[in-house]
Every structure is written in C-alpha cells, then in structure tokens.
A and B are shown apart, each in its own frame.
Chain A
Amino acid sequence: MIAIFLTAILTENYILCQFLGICPFLGVSKKLNTAVGMSVAVIFVMALATAVTYPINQYLLVKNNLEYLQTIVFILVIAALVQFVEIVLKRFIPALYQALGIYLPLITTNCAVLGVVLLNISKEYTFAQSMINSVGAGVGFLVAMVMFAGVRERLEGCDIPKGLQGLPITLVAASLVSLSFQGFSGVVSGIFG
C-alpha cells in the first residue's frame, strides 16, 4: 500500500514522468496559491472519480462484458460528477466552493483524472489500492505543481534569450524539474522490493 502511494507520488509522478495533466501544469503554475488550489481540487476529484468509476466498471461493465465502453462511460461519469460536486459545494459548503469551485470545470477534461481511472483498471488494482493510487497521484500532482510554481517565480526575474522567452523556457525548466524526479526511480522498489 505504502509502496503504491510512494510510487504514484515519486517514481511515476503523473505530470513529470507520465505526461498527464500538462495543460494545468503549464497554465496554472504561475502563482503558488492558484497552483495549490488547483492541485487540491485535482486530488479531490481523482479520489471521487475512482470511488465512483471502480464499482461501475466492476459491477456493471465487466459483468456484462461491456469493457469496451469504458472510455465513453468514464468521461461522462467524470463530467457529470464534477458538475454535481460543483452544485453540491455551492449549496452546502460555500467556503470550500470559494476555494476550489473555480478549478472544478477545468478538471473535467484534464487527462490526469481520466488517466488515473484507466490506469487503475489496467493495473488490476483492488478498490483500496485504486483509492491509494489515486490519492497518491493527486499528491504527486500537488508536489510537482508547488515545486514548479517556485521555479517559475524565479524565472520571472531572469534575463532570458529572446527566442526562449515564454513557453520554451518554461518547458526547459520543466525538463530540469522532471530530471530531479528521475532520481527517485528505483528508490521505492529499493525500499519495499
């Protein structure tokens, strides 16, 4: 369990090692507070999406040999779920809605959420393992976002060659952050394997 959790955060970090959820990673990481807000919303939705799609897959799709409908069912479930959460939060927990609400619609088409759901199934995790993996993936998202927001704040004040200004230098910086995560490969299997 711990191994799955740490693997999801460090060695298989969804952003830096598997390239899932790059759009928010580049788009929302300019400021630390928005980066944290977005990431918390992602953790929340990932956990919820897994909790809902796992039983649907297990008891509805697999039972009726409808696995090929996974993609279409999951994306609709996630989209509906996000809408539903938004409405519920707005009505009952306005404080939380204030903090996370604005990020929720962006998450529907975030490939990290659909990715984690699909990967849980392809890795044949149990329900508990899937939940751990989803939360771990979300925390990994948070770690990467926070680290990268710090790096980007530094970039603001730098004298960057003209051709590299803007997105290219951001990507090169992402490459270096990602390089640091490569250092974790083998650590988890080294400890638990």
Chain B
Amino acid sequence: MAEKKSLGKEFSKGIIKENPVLRLVLGTCPTLATSVSVTNSIGMGIAATMVLICSNIVISALRKVIPSKIRIPAYIVVIASFVTIVQMLVKAFIPALNDALGVYLPLIVVNCIILGRAEAFAGKNSVPASFLDGLGMGIGFTFALVVMATIREVFGAGTFLDGIDSLTKLFGATSFTGFTIFSEPVGLLVMAPGGFLVFGLVMALANKVAEGKGKPKAELKGCAACPMAHSCSLIDTQDSCDNTAKEEAKE
C-alpha cells in the first residue's frame, strides 16, 4: 500500500508541485517558442512527453549497465534516438505540426527537462517509478505550455484551438477547426516579446500561489538545475553557474 502511494506521488508531483517549467524552470526555450498557439503547444507537449516517457523507461532499465562516467553521453544517445523516432512519426502522420514546430521538434533532444529527469530521477529509480515520473513531468510540461498558449493565442491572435484539426484528424474528426474570439487582437503577444512577457507574468502568478502555501519561489538555480552540472568543470560544489563563487575564491 505504501509503495502504491509513493508511486502516485511520483506521478502527481510533476504536474503542480514540481512543474518542470514553472517550478523547476527547465525547458524554457520550447515553452517560449511553441506557445504561440494551443494546437502547437499540445503537439509539442505530446511529442516531448513521448520522448520523456520512453527515455525514462530505457535509462531506468539500463541504469545498472551504464557506467557512471559516461552516463551523460549514453543518456544523450538514448534521448536522441527517441527524438528521431518521434520526429519521423510526426512527419509521417501530422505534417502540419512538423511544419509548425520546425526546428524545435529535433531540438527536443536538448530540452533540459528530459536530460534533467534522466539525470535526477531515471538514473536512480525503478522502471515503474521512472515511467510515472516521465508521464507526470510530461503532463506538467504540456499543462504549462497550454496555459501560456491559451493566453497568447486568445489575446494575441484572437482565436482558440486554431488549426486543431491537424491533430484531431488522426482520430477522424475534421469538422472542428477552432473558435474566433476577437477580431482585433493584440498582435504583440504572439510575437517574441509577448512570449517573455506572458511567461514572466505566469511565473509571477505561480510564485504567488506557491508563496501562499509557504513554498519557496521558483528560481533559476544556475548550474544546480542544469543537467550538465556534474560534468561541468566550473562547479565542483554545484553552487551556481555564473562562477561568482569561484571568482570570489580567486580574489
């Protein structure tokens, strides 16, 4: 019973409490880039979740085989293989999504959420726990993307779920192609500055909510959050990326 409970926790922690985007501040690049429309962000979320689950399972299964010295390159190979598979599937079945996501689809390979989870969780835990962790984190990532995309698409483009038929087509539904809400939207929000702005405000809100519950704020921890931290010659003590500590020590 206790086992079951903790497995449930592995799943649920990624969605709110340790949301990879809003709480751990990982995977910011795809979050900003693909949250221009809800359709794109759902597509991106599903693609990244697939890679995350598969790579978590494989890495967890191989955790006793991979020597710890070369684990980062090994993880990268596993992740890159799954990214390639997902990329080929998307190209074959949802070409519209492939065009919309463009270079960000192969760039899932350097999405720090995936390498970060491999390093922080899958390399140390059992296969079922890693699967649930991957699923939870993937859903958390998708959730954060959809929240941001909803704000940006509704106010920035004046539509909601525009182009969703490219996804629902797979299940035979093509009639629904999204709503139009505003005819004169704030175009800035779908452009680059809007991405930063909405992300900043959503994160402020998430901090506010967390603060109310007495949790610490989300903060970019420099290298501590960076999956490369261990192989990085800069931080021996894993304190921070911007080498202030080392500089001060030198002086």
The CA of A30 and the CA of B241, in the complex, are separated in Å by: 10
Partner-binding segment picked from B61-69, B124-132, B175-183, B224-232: B224-232
Q: Which residues from 21 to 38 on chain A have a C-beta closer than 8 Å to any C-beta of chain B?
A: 21-23, 26-28, 30-31, 34
The CA of A111 and the CA of B111, in the complex, are separated in Å by: 8
User: Separation in Å of the B162 CB from the closest CB of chain A?
Assistant: 20
Partner-binding segment picked from A1-9, A69-77, A125-133: A69-77
Chain A residues near B87: list those with CB within 8 A.
Answer: 68, 71
User: Interface residues, chain A, CB within 8 Å of chain B?
Assistant: 16-23, 26-28, 30-31, 34, 68-72, 75-76, 79, 86, 101-103, 105-106, 108-111, 114-115, 118-119, 122, 163-172, 174-176, 178-179, 181-182
Q: Is the interface of B mostly helix, strand, loop or mixed?
A: helix
Given known contacts A19-B195, A178-B192, A169 and B242 CB-to-CB distance under 8 angstroms = no
User: Separation in Å of the B232 CB from the closest CB of chain A?
Assistant: 4
User: Separation in Å of the A138 CB from the closest CB of chain B?
Assistant: 17
Chain A residues near B193: list those with CB within 8 A.
Answer: 175-176, 178-179, 182
Given known contacts A17-B192, A68-B88, A105-B234, A166 and B242 CB-to-CB distance under 8 angstroms = no
Q: Which residues from 178 to 220 on chain B have a C-beta closer than 8 Å to any C-beta of chain A?
A: 188, 191-197, 199-201, 203-205, 207-208, 211, 217-220
Residue of B73, B77, B204 contacting most chain A CB atoms (<10 Å):
B204
Chain A residues near B227: list those with CB within 8 A.
Answer: 109
Given known contacts A16-B192, A34-B243, A102 and B233 CB-to-CB distance under 8 angstroms = yes
Given known contacts A102-B233, A110-B110, A72 and B196 CB-to-CB distance under 8 angstroms = no
Given known contacts A71-B83, A172-B201, A23 and B228 CB-to-CB distance under 8 angstroms = no
The CA of A22 and the CA of B30, in the complex, are separated in Å by: 9
The CA of A174 and the CA of B195, in the complex, are separated in Å by: 10
User: Separation in Å of the B206 CB from the closest CB of chain A?
Assistant: 9
Does B242 contact A172, Cβ atoms closer than 8 Å? no
Does A102 contact B234, Cβ atoms closer than 8 Å? yes
User: Separation in Å of the B118 CB from the closest CB of chain A?
Assistant: 12
The CA of A187 and the CA of B86, in the complex, are separated in Å by: 38
The CA of A118 and the CA of B110, in the complex, are separated in Å by: 13
User: Separation in Å of the B9 CB from the closest CB of chain A?
Assistant: 26
The CA of A126 and the CA of B107, in the complex, are separated in Å by: 22
Chain B, interface size category, equals: 35 or more
Given known contacts A26-B28, A108-B228, A171 and B76 CB-to-CB distance under 8 angstroms = no
Chain B residues near A34: list those with CB within 8 A.
Answer: 242-243
Does B77 contact A167, Cβ atoms closer than 8 Å? no
Q: Is the interface of A mostly helix, strand, loop or mixed?
A: helix
Residue of B77, B84, B192 contacting most chain A CB atoms (<10 Å):
B192
The CA of A101 and the CA of B196, in the complex, are separated in Å by: 30
Chain A residue nearest to B73 (CB atoms) is A79
Chain B residues near A20: list those with CB within 8 A.
Answer: 29, 33, 107
Residue of A18, A86, A103, A167 contacting most chain B CB atoms (<10 Å):
A167
B244: CB under 8 A from chain A? yes
Given known contacts A68-B84, A106-B241, A178-B196, A75 and B219 CB-to-CB distance under 8 angstroms = no
B95: CB under 8 A from chain A? no
Chain B residue nearest to A21 (CB atoms) is B29
The CA of A156 and the CA of B193, in the complex, are separated in Å by: 21
The CA of A110 and the CA of B192, in the complex, are separated in Å by: 19
B90: CB under 8 A from chain A? no
Does B200 contact A169, Cβ atoms closer than 8 Å? yes
Chain B residues near A27: list those with CB within 8 A.
Answer: 220, 222-223, 226, 241-242
